[in-house]
């Protein structure tokens, strides 16, 4: 089956437009094509806003809005920046061609054209478009999988400490064992609780950074810090015990005099703690290893550099180190936690008008530097820091040494909008070796080279998922039309012939770098949206059971020898148990919501869904579970079930949990959950099965409005559900998996009714 693809043709000459439509309709290029048309750029923008194409082919000279202006509008819209555009025009002067390609057109083809060659280039652009999309989707899917694994590990591991040690403690008490066992079990409970506390507090800090709450606090609480040297020594002293455990010596010269900096003391301590903790953990632990804390000042900045003798990391991950949840070699270094420490450190440094610089050499070590602006007492402001350009890496592959060095010099001297690193290789084979160590933002390559020529080199690059998104420029002496067409057809973004115009070369290099960073930013936005949705799962509710577990276990530990009655001991145990159960439920809620958010739950649903013929039984079981968890004190009334309920399609366990969660969430919204009475009724019509849960007390108008927004089927993608009851959110997501819907009916006389509506299953005829 052919992949569907949509092409927009923008051409003011009617016969040319019709001819292009006919050509694309008649000739098979391997896609199921759908053709959209527009007779000028203005109309083209209207079409794109309504029906986004996979590729645009446009003329330049058109009324109302020409092709160049049309392209400018396209590239200014972040939602359209990834759409490739081919100019097909009669303007064939060098200046026009350069202008069109420099402004962001993928190809510039002049009329009259060879139909066969044009179709080949259109196919190449579509192939490249779908290749990049598939690569992006693979990255998103991998991120979802990694985040779910991380959440499972980082939440469930410490929770296991709490629950397992509580069970052992309870057993020991029941068997009247020695109290020294109690101390060990209580320590286990406290370790798990403290680890969870640190994780939750870290995630909440990330949220405060992203919402601006921490910036507001900085404006209120920041003040000049005169004893920064003491602050650094304080951090070092706090980490010495851990360093000794790892066999690491911390070296620091305390003779340096520090200038004033403006900030919040405990936040800067947090940044330095995170950097020093990482340095200790990732230093090679053989015999004695060293970590150096180095300090120096420039005219405007204070630098605190923490240098380790650790594993280091390759250049290509340098910019990812501060991404939320990113971890380098997690399977080897699981002690690194959830991957939020450097995110917080970077955010706090930037709040202070500073930054964190990173330098690393794989296998040798890394240096992380906290850089802060010096505070000027006269102006009462921090001094302006050094403005740094974004960093970019270009790989140049050329077998002629003088040309290679000359091109390297031209790039380094001519480009000032990026802090440029130029890597070099003498042929395609050596280029692949460079790519195995580095991840450049652009490749510029000759074609005629020994061992592995440019065309073969490009083919290998495009076949590797890690490199597939790197743009590629051919810079070659092969200037025949057939050579240029062959190079374009191979998938290179640009084809430049020697001798080249330096200004034109730099323009095209900047175009590809800018576009690559634009595409990366779009992908980062997608990743950030996913991460933000997972962050929103962490609610302040977490803090209460965490604090309770810690408090009860500490009280029991302190008073274990002073407990005089069995009742006092059981009271503390009941407190730990209640908090532990609450904590367990919250963790399970987070994992379930994460699975719904990332699509993992949908995958499970697709694998397990089947016809369900016993909806009534599922509702009865859900009610039993609610009663069991409430200690059989819950008043739930089930109306008589209809004798013949039609089947629905879904997963019984998910549906059972949805009914259970709906009853529990409804009870919580009643205010007095223990005494709330629920009335459950199951009914059906020809289209749907209805599971209704009613409570006597109606909801307030504001609560009704909030719940109706959550239940609405057409919520915007940006909808933030973080303030809603987790149980209701799980019900809403799970019912959605079953192609069902939720409704709310609030009546001042009869109370509030929540209803799950599930479509009746009708098996397809064999």
Give pLDDT, residue 9.
95
Strand runs labelled E in 398-540: 419-425, 442-445, 472-476, 494-497
Output DSSP code: residue 642: P
Query: Which one is predicted more confidently, 416 or 54?
Result: 54
Q: Tell me the two tokens of residue 611.
A: 């016809």
The lowest-confidence range among 83-87, 160-164, 587-591, 647-651 is 160-164
Residue 569 has pLDDT above 50, yes or no: yes
Helix axes 94-102, 502-535, angle to 10 degrees: 20
* DSSP secondary structure letters along 225-290: ES-HHHHHHHHHHHHHHHHHHTTEEEEE-TTPPP--EEE-HHHHHHHHHHHHHHHHHHB--SSSEE
Tell me: the pLDDT tens digits for 509-525?
Answer: 999 999 888 888 777 77
Centroid of chain to Cα 230:
37
- Count of Cβ atoms closer than 10 Å to residue 764 Cβ: 4
Which residue's structure tokens are 């003498």? 426
Give pLDDT, residue 608.
93
Radius of gyration of the chain (CA): 32
- Count of Cβ atoms closer than 10 Å to residue 182 Cβ: 20
Residue 582 has pLDDT above 80, yes or no: no
CA distance 579 to 29: 64
Fold of 391-528: Rossmann fold (3.40.50)
Q: Average pLDDT for residues 559-573, to the nearest whole number?
A: 59
Of 485-489, 569-573, 605-609, 756-760, give the range with the top mean pLDDT.
Answer: 756-760
Give pLDDT, residue 173.
65
Which residue's structure tokens are 């987070």? 590
Quick one: pLDDT band at residue 111, thresholds 50, 70, 90? confident
User: Do the beta carbons of residue 689 and residue 648 sit within 8 Å?
Assistant: yes
CA distance 613 to 708: 30
User: Do the beta carbons of residue 70 and residue 8 sit within 8 Å?
Assistant: no
Q: 394 forms bridges with which residues in the sheet? A: 422, 442
Quick one: pLDDT band at residue 550, thresholds 50, 70, 90? low
Q: Average pLDDT for residues 206-218, to the nearest whole number?
A: 77
Q: Tell me the two tokens of residue 97.
A: 């061609």
CA distance 735 to 742: 7
User: Do the beta carbons of residue 313 and residue 368 sit within 8 Å?
Assistant: no
Quick one: pLDDT band at residue 73, thresholds 50, 70, 90? very high
- 3-113 shares its CATH topology with 391-528: yes
Name the CA dihedral angle for 129, 131, 134, 135, rounded to a multiple of 10 degrees: -110
Cβ-based burial of 540 (10 A; exposed 0-12, middle 13-18, buried ≥19): exposed
Residue 48 has pLDDT above 90, yes or no: yes
Give pLDDT, residue 537.
65
**CA distance to 146, 533, 598, 601, 658, per residue, from 595 (Å):** 12, 11, 5, 5, 15
Quick one: pLDDT band at residue 461, thresholds 50, 70, 90? very high
Cβ-based burial of 300 (10 A; exposed 0-12, middle 13-18, buried ≥19): middle
Give pLDDT, residue 633.
58
Domain 139-211+539-598 maps to which CATH number in 1.10.8, 1.20.120, 3.40.50, 3.30.70? 1.20.120
Give pLDDT, residue 332.
47
Domain 601-759 maps to which CATH number in 2.130.10.10, 3.40.470.10, 3.30.565.10, 3.30.450.70? 3.30.565.10
Q: Average pLDDT for residues 367-384, to the nearest whole number?
A: 81
Cβ-based burial of 272 (10 A; exposed 0-12, middle 13-18, buried ≥19): buried
In residues, how long is the chain?
A: 766
Domain 221-382 maps to which CATH number in 3.40.50.300, 3.40.50.2000, 3.90.1170.50, 3.30.565.10? 3.30.565.10
User: Do the beta carbons of residue 371 and residue 303 sit within 8 Å?
Assistant: yes
Quick one: pLDDT band at residue 188, thresholds 50, 70, 90? confident
Which residue's structure tokens are 């598939």? 134
- Nearest CA among 288, 292, 342, 286 for reference residue 313: 342
Give pLDDT, residue 257.
83
Q: Average pLDDT for residues 99-121, to the nearest whole number?
A: 86
Strand runs labelled E in 258-390: 261-263, 289-297, 301-307, 355-361, 365-373, 375-376, 381-382
The three-state secondary structure class of 177 is: coil
Q: 419 forms bridges with which residues in the sheet? A: 391
Tell me: the pLDDT tens digits for 281-307?
Answer: 877 666 678 899 999 988 889 999 999
Q: Tell me the two tokens of residue 570.
A: 């059981």
Does domain 3-113 match CATH 3.40.50.2300?
Answer: yes
Query: Which one is predicted more confidently, 723 or 626?
Result: 626
CA distance 304 to 314: 23
Element (H, E) at 96: helix 94-102
Give pLDDT, residue 721.
61
Quick one: pLDDT band at residue 162, thresholds 50, 70, 90? confident
The lowest-confidence range among 50-64, 231-245, 372-386, 634-648 is 372-386
Tell me: the pLDDT tens digits for 710-765?
Answer: 888 777 655 666 566 778 888 999 999 999 999 999 998 889 999 999 999 988 76
280 Cβ neighbours under 8 A, 6+ residues apart: 239, 242, 243, 246, 248, 250, 291, 308
Q: 467 forms bridges with which residues in the sheet? A: none
For β-strands 248-252 and 688-695, DSSP reports them as: unpaired
Which residue's structure tokens are 């066999």? 247
Quick one: pLDDT band at residue 213, thresholds 50, 70, 90? confident
In degrees rounded to 5, what are phi and psi of residue 37? -135, 155
Domain locations in the chain as residue ranges: 3-113, 139-211+539-598, 221-382, 391-528, 601-759
The lowest-confidence range among 191-200, 353-362, 468-477, 536-545 is 536-545
For β-strands 381-382 and 391-397, DSSP reports them as: unpaired
Give pLDDT, residue 722.
59
Tell me: the pLDDT tens digits for 12-40?
Answer: 999 999 999 999 999 999 999 999 999 99
The lowest-confidence range among 327-336, 571-580, 677-686 is 327-336
Give pLDDT, residue 247.
86
């Amino acid at each position: 089956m052919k992949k569907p693809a949509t092409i927009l043709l923008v051409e003011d000459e009617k016969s040319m437009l019709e001819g292009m439509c006919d050509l694309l309709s008649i000739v098979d290029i391997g896609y199921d094509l759908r053709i959209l048309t527009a007779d000028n750029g203005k109309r083209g923008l209207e079409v794109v806003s309504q029906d986004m194409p996979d590729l645009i082919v446009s003329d330049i000279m058109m009324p109302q809005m020409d092709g160049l202006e049309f392209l400018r509008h396209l590239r200014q819209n972040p939602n359209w920046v990834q759409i490739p555009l081919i100019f097909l025009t009669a303007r064939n002067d060098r200046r026009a061609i350069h202008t069109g390609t420099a402004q962001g057109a993928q190809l510039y083809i002049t009329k009259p054209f060879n139909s066969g060659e044009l179709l080949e280039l259109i196919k190449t652009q579509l192939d490249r478009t779908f290749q990049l999309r598939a690569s992006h989707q693979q990255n998103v899917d991998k991120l979802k999988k990694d985040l779910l694994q991380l959440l499972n590990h980082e939440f469930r591991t410490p929770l296991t400490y709490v629950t397992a040690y509580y069970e052992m403690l309870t057993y020991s008490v029941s068997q009247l064992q020695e109290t020294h066992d109690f101390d060990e079990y209580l320590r286990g409970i406290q370790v798990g609780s403290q680890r969870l506390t640190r994780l939750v507090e870290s995630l909440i800090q990330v949220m405060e950074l992203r919402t601006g709450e921490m910036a507001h606090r900085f404006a209120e609480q920041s003040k000049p810090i005169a004893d920064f040297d003491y602050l650094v020594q304080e951090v070092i002293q706090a980490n010495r015990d851990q360093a000794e455990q790892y066999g690491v010596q911390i070296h620091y010269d305390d003779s340096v005099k520090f200038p004033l900096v403006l900030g919040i003391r405990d936040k800067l301590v947090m940044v330095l703690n995170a950097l020093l903790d990482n340095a200790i953990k990732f230093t090679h632990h053989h015999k004695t290893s060293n970590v150096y804390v180095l300090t120096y000042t420039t005219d405007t900045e204070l630098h605190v550099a923490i240098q380790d003798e650790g594993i280091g990391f390759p250049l290509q991950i340098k910019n990812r180190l501060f991404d939320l949840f990113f971890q380098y070699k997690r399977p080897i270094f699981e002690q690194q936690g959830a991957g939020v420490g450097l995110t917080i450190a970077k955010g706090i440094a930037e709040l202070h008008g500073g930054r964190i610089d990173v330098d690393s050499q794989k296998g040798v070590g890394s240096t992380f530097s906290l850089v802060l602006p010096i505070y000027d007492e006269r102006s009462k402001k921090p001094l302006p820091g050094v403005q740094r350009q974004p960093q970019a890496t270009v790989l140049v592959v050329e077998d002629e040494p003088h040309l290679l060095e000359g091109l390297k010099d031209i790039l380094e001297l001519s480009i000032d909008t990026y802090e440029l690193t130029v890597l070099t290789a003498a042929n395609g084979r050596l280029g692949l070796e460079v790519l195995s160590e580095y991840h450049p933002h652009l490749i510029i390559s000759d074609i005629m080279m020994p061992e592995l020529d440019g065309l073969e080199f490009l083919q290998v690059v495009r076949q590797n998922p890690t490199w597939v998104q790197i743009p590629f420029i051919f810079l070659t002496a092969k200037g025949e039309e057939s050579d240029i067409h062959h190079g374009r057809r191979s998938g290179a973004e640009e084809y430049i012939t020697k001798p080249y115009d330096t200004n034109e070369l730099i323009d095209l290099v900047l175009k590809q770098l800018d576009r690559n960073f634009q595409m990366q930013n779009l992908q980062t936005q997608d990743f950030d949206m996913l991460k933000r949705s997972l962050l929103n799962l962490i609610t302040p509710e977490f803090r209460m059971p965490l604090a309770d577990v810690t408090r009860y276990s500490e009280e029991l530990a302190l008073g274990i020898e002073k407990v005089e009655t069995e009742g006092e001991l059981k009271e503390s145990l009941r407190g730990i148990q209640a908090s532990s159960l609450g904590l367990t439920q919250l963790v399970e809620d987070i994992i379930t919501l994460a699975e719904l958010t990332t699509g993992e739950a949908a995958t499970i649903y697709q694998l397990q869904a089947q016809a369900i013929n016993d909806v009534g039984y599922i509702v009865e079981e859900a009610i039993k579970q609610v009663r069991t968890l409430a200690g059989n004190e819950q008043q739930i009334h089930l109306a008589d079930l209809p004798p013949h309920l039609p089947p629905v399609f879904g997963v019984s366990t998910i549906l059972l949990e949805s009914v259970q969660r709906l009853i529990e969430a409804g009870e919580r919204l009643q205010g007095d959950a223990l005494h709330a009475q629920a009335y459950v009724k199951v009914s059906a019509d020809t289209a749907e099965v209805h599971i209704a849960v009613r409570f006597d007390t109606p909801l307030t108008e504001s609560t009704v409005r909030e719940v109706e927004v959550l239940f609405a089927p057409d919520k915007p993608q940006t909808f933030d559900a973080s303030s809603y009851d987790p149980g209701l959110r799980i019900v809403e997501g799970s019912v959605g998996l079953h192609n069902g819907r939720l409704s709310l009916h609030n009546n001042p006389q009869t109370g509030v009714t929540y209803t799950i509506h599930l479509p009746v299953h009708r098996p397809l005829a064999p």
